[in-house]
């Protein structure tokens, strides 16, 4: 696992061993960031359920102004902290060690994020809870992009009821990315 492009290009990243996190493969990450690239420069990027922090670090490496990482697993958070320091992207990164929903509530009413990436544990229906909290928090603006990485059987048909429009779905062998535009 590494940073693919930008100022920290090719730097290797650490991740937890075992099944506590599921790092997104470099190939899938590259596909995702090729789609996101026009939105990244100078954006504010929120990485929920951050794991190793690779998605937010990739965003900052490619020009995002700020990445906020939210991770409640203390070992994973320590891994994110190491990766932030190793990549020398500390000025553009903030780590919140807490669960995603309480972090969203903590940030309510502050600056808005342009891009939100979330990769919650599969099979726990955390996507719906996080999307609802984001919509109610005021930390995303109309037209903000939210990407949900999930298992292939995850149903996001309720998204419109929460104020989102599904604009794109990208399916891979074992998972999918759903792109949602916040419509307010």
In this structure, are residues 94 and 68 in contact, taking their beta carbons and an 8 Å threshold?
yes
Res 144: pLDDT: 94
Res 173: pLDDT: 92
Q: Please tell me whether the overall predicted TM-score, pTM, comes out greater than 0.75 for this model.
A: yes
Res 21: pLDDT: 59
pLDDT digits (tens, 9 = 90+) for 137-165: 999 988 899 999 999 999 999 999 999 99
> Which helix (H) or strand (E) element contains residue 73?
none
In this structure, are residues 88 and 8 in contact, taking their beta carbons and an 8 Å threshold?
yes
pLDDT digits (tens, 9 = 90+) for 90-116: 999 999 999 999 999 999 988 899 999
In this structure, are residues 172 and 131 in contact, taking their beta carbons and an 8 Å threshold?
no
Q: CATH homologous superfamily for 27-182?
A: Vaccinia Virus protein VP39 (3.40.50.150)
pLDDT digits (tens, 9 = 90+) for 40-63: 999 999 999 999 999 999 999 999
Average pLDDT over residues 75-102: 96
CB atoms within 10 A of CB 19: 6
pLDDT tier, 20 (very low <50, low <70, confident <90, very high otherwise): low
Instruction: Enumerate the domain spans of the chain.
Output: 27-182
pLDDT tier, 8 (very low <50, low <70, confident <90, very high otherwise): confident
The C-alpha atoms of residue 110 and residue 42 are separated, in whole angstroms, by: 17
pLDDT tier, 118 (very low <50, low <70, confident <90, very high otherwise): very high
Res 184: pLDDT: 81
What is the overall mean pLDDT for the chain? 92
């Amino acid at each position: 696992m590494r940073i693919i492009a930008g100022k920290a290009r090719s730097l290797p990243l650490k991740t937890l061993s075992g099944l506590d996190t599921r790092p997104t493969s470099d190939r899938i990450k590259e596909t995702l960031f090729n789609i996101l690239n026009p939105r990244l420069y100078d954006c504010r990027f929120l990485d929920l359920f951050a794991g190793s922090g690779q998605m937010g670090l990739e965003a900052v490496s490619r020009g995002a102004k700020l990445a906020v990482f939210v991770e409640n697993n203390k070992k994973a958070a320590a891994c994110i902290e190491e990766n932030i320091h190793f990549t020398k992207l500390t000025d553009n990164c903030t780590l919140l060690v807490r669960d995603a929903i309480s972090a969203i509530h903590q940030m309510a009413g502050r600056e808005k994020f342009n891009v939100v990436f979330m990769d919650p544990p599969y099979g726990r229906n955390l996507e719906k809870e996080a999307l609802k909290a984001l919509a109610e928090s005021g930390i995303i603006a109309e037209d903000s992009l939210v990407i949900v990485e999930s298992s292939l059987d995850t149903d996001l048909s309720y998204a419109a009821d929460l104020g989102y429009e599904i604009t794109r779905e990208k399916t891979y062998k074992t998972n999918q990315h759903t792109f949602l535009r916040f419509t307010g």
